[in-house]
Amino acid sequence: MNWTAADIPDQSGRTIVVTGANSGIGLETTRELARNGARVIMACRSTDRGEQAAREVRRDAPDAELRVEECDLGDLESVRAFADRLEGDEIDVLINNAGVMAIPRSETEDGFETQFGVNHLGHFALTGLLLENLATDGEEPARVVTVSSAVHERGRIRFEDLHGERSYDEWEAYAQSKLANVLFAYELERRFLTAGVNADSVAVHPGYANTNLQYRGPEQRGSRLRMAAMKLMNAVIAQPSATGALPTLYAATAPEAEGGAYYGPGGFGNMRGTPERQASSDRSYDEETARWLWAVSSDLTDVSYDLPEPKAGVPARS
């Protein structure tokens, strides 16, 4: 497809929410959206880091319209407070980007295993709470873009031990949370279609991008060897974070991007390059697993969506 940031259409008049907007893929996504005229609401766990990132973006785009808001996806009270502050704001695109990767076991404020809690449950709750904000009355559909990872292909949803209380492996937990992202994105699309809502749900992955995400696990473990290995891999193998942001930007802005699709880099091993439509793992298309996950997520977060269960035979768009 060879689509780059130069192909982003004018975003003037559009409001886009980006979680984890202060670093990595989120920062690069914010930068390009702002350059092209979007009003970006930067949902950040730390408003200090968010404001610092906003200043960086304004150096590249002096006229950038940015709003930094606190949103800690590991604390449902913070997620609800963020949604409350956006009451009355119409949102054209919600980008569920923030995440943590391969960290030692810990728990969120609500007692969830952190990777599952932040990467999936926090975004599940946020999307449900912002559902009424989505701009579904215009000619163009509103969009919800959920950022997963190629590592989701290793994942399975361990309903018997979602929070790793019986056994925990940091990479298995990460893979589970990223599979949950794709299952959620597809199930949301099916529910949009069933309800006849003018909105699309899209899943993406950035490939292997050079961000700070890879360093958090080694930092928390205090492992100099793992840190050195990650730095070497990022230097030799990883693509720049600006390139890693392209699938997200494509899904958020390209008129031809489709609901129910999965986009990622089309280069070597689907780890590098410009975005293309791809197939996700077989498990990610399991509708029964998706519906169970949806029900469990709603119960755990106490967030219900005003959307019907999909009718029989209503797949995500293909």
Catalytic residues: 174
CB atoms within 10 A of CB 59: 9
Tell me the backbone φ, ψ of residue 255, rounded to 5 degrees: -60, -30
CA distances from 151 to 193, 201, 287 (A): 28, 20, 20
Integer Rg of the chain from CA? 18
Tell me the backbone φ, ψ of residue 180, rounded to 5 degrees: -60, -35
Task: Kindly list the strands in the beta sheet with 39-44, ordered across the sheet, starting from the edge strand earlier in the chain.
Answer: 65-70, 39-44, 15-19, 93-96, 142-147, 199-204, 262-265, 275-277
In sequence order, the 6+-apart residues with CB closer than 8 A to the CB of 307 are 131, 188, 191, 192, 194, 195, 197
In angstroms, the CA 275 to CA 205 distance is 9
In angstroms, the CA 203 to CA 199 distance is 14
Where residue 150 falls (left for φ over 0; alpha for ψ -120 to 50; beta otherwise) is: alpha
**Structure tokens that stand for 170 in this block:** 């940091």
